[in-house]
Amino acid sequence: MNHKQHTIKAPVTVSGIGLHTGVVSNMTFKPAPVNHGYKFQRIDLPGQPIVAADVDNVVDLSRGTTIEQNGARVNTVEHTLAALVGLQIDNVLIELDGPEPPIMDGSSIDFLRALQSVGLEEQNAQRNYFDITQGITYKDDSRGVEIVALPLDDYRLTVMVDYNSPVLGSQHASITNIEQFEDEIASCRTFVFLHELEALYKQNLIKGGDLDNAIVIVDRVVQDEELDYLSDLLKKPKVEVKEEGILNNTELRFKNEPARHKLLDLMGDLALIGRPIKGQILAARPGHAANIAFARKVKKAIQEANVKNVPVYDPKKPPVMDINQIAAMLPHRYPFLLIDKIIHLDESSVTGIKNVTMNEPFFQGHFPGNPIMPGVLQIEAMAQTGGILVLSSVDNPDDYWTYLLAIDKCRFKRKVLPGDTIIFKCELLAPLKRGIAKMFGQAFVGGQVVLEAEMSAMIVKKDA
């Protein structure tokens, strides 16, 4: 899985008819800056409103996932979003001149190929993964639906579908690595049962549905008269049932293509959480309603974690910057280089690690019988963490000095002792202006805040 955020190198457009609206539209993927996420823009509407791909914006789940914001609606977003997730693209603006993305062949493969044709671009920011640290479960006993997320330092999905159909039977699909999406999931098409077709048409849905963009599963005996009726309904000269129970369709791309498409839908719907996930997702009989209900539970877990605001430090993971890289950027040296690792760095925030040991030189004279890390050195370590953030904003950090200008609202919450691991987090309170940065910093030990303060710093060219 990628460590850095990615966008695309250039705009690319796909065109076609919408599955449910039947409206032909052009959809253009455009590069976007870090932390932008996925956003749709209805350029056909007055003011060209933007609709964020967010589970809070879901307004309809009639055979697809529809989002709405700022008076604009976008139908059936899941196949588009699945392609972005599968390629590990984090930031893109999706311009749309109609109400619905093109259905293409009913899968995500055409979106994936279009995005690949312009190439991906790595961005200078870490991916903001949400690590599943404890089980999250959604159940609907009335429909036999269950979706569970379990802790895992990777991205794995397993889906089981069972429609009591003699054609489909019980099917399973899974990916154990996100890179499998392109070859094993992206080309799997949407499907519908024959008995659902007429009802969907009467509900004013699948206006753009066609035997070229959906698999129609025939799970009962069909008379010639009904086939003639279906020919008129689907505007086809002839409709017939294949031996394997598929209506007028080409061969299935996989024996379990329907289950694989349900996995594709799940990936697309979970994109509405707003962050890439690290975890294992197990889903029994999922559908859009269950996917979105589950996504809302995951987003709630994210919000609860954000309230705690405690960065997650896994010492097994490689740091963004090790001690040698830190020393190459900061001028400090022993005994005043107080940061051991940088584990997160983007344009507006940074997280650093300090391992406190009894061997620290300040313990020789600072309360020798009661060793406590001096508060001023905690502030210094947090300022050095913030210095990494400020210096990373310029092209040649070696050419600059960083000076601390002010410390405000400083509060020490508890003692820091030998054996503690301090996690420092600094966030910009406003964009850098004329070389001056104002940051809010916090220090955590064991999940508890030990220090917080607002700091102002300035970067100055060494030859100035």
Q: Packing angle between helix 78-86 and helix 109-118, nearest 10 degrees?
A: 50
Q: Given CA atoms 41, 46, 47, 51 in this order, what sign does their dihedral have? A: negative
Q: Is 204 exposed, middle or buried (0-12, 13-18, 19+ CB in 10 A)?
A: exposed
Encode the chain in three state secondary structure. Answer: CCCEEEEECCCEEEEEECCCCCCEEEEEEEECCCCCCEEEEECCCCCCCEEECCHHHEEECCCCCEEEECCEEECCCHHHHHHHHHCCCCCEEEEECCCCCCCCCCCCHHHHHHHHHHCEEEEEEECCCEECCCCEEEEECCCCEEEEEECCCCEEEEEEEECCCCCCCEEEEEECCHHHHHHHCCCCCCEEEHHHHHHHHHCCCCCCCCCCCCEEECCCCCCHHHHHHHHHHCCCCCCCECCCCEECCCCCCCCCHHHHHHHHHHHHHHHHHCCCEEEEEEEECCCHHHHHHHHHHHHHHHHHHHHHCCCCCCCCCCCCECHHHHHHHCCCCCCCCCCCEEEEECCCEEEEEEECCCCCHHHHCCCCCCCCCCHHHHHHHHHHHHHHHHHCCCCCHHHEEEEEEEEEEEEECCCCCCCCEEEEEEEECCCCECCEEEEEEEEEECCEEEEEEEEEEEEEECCC
Token code pair at residue 134: 């404890």
Using only the alpha carbons of the chain, give its radius of gyration: 27
Instruction: Verify whether residue 6 is a known catalytic residue.
Output: no
Please pick, among 36, 172, 332, 366, the residue that the annotation labels catalytic: 366
Under 8 Å between Cβ of 276 and 129? yes
Beta-ladder partners of 40 = 51, 94
Please pick, among 20, 79, 261, 288, the residue that the annotation labels catalytic: 288
Beta-ladder partners of 280 = 150, 156
Report how far residue 155's alpha carbon sits from residue 139's, in angstroms, rounded to the nearest whole number.
Answer: 21
Instruction: Verify whether residue 288 is a known catalytic residue.
Output: yes
Residue 244 CB neighbours (<10 A): 12
Active-site positions?
Answer: 288, 366
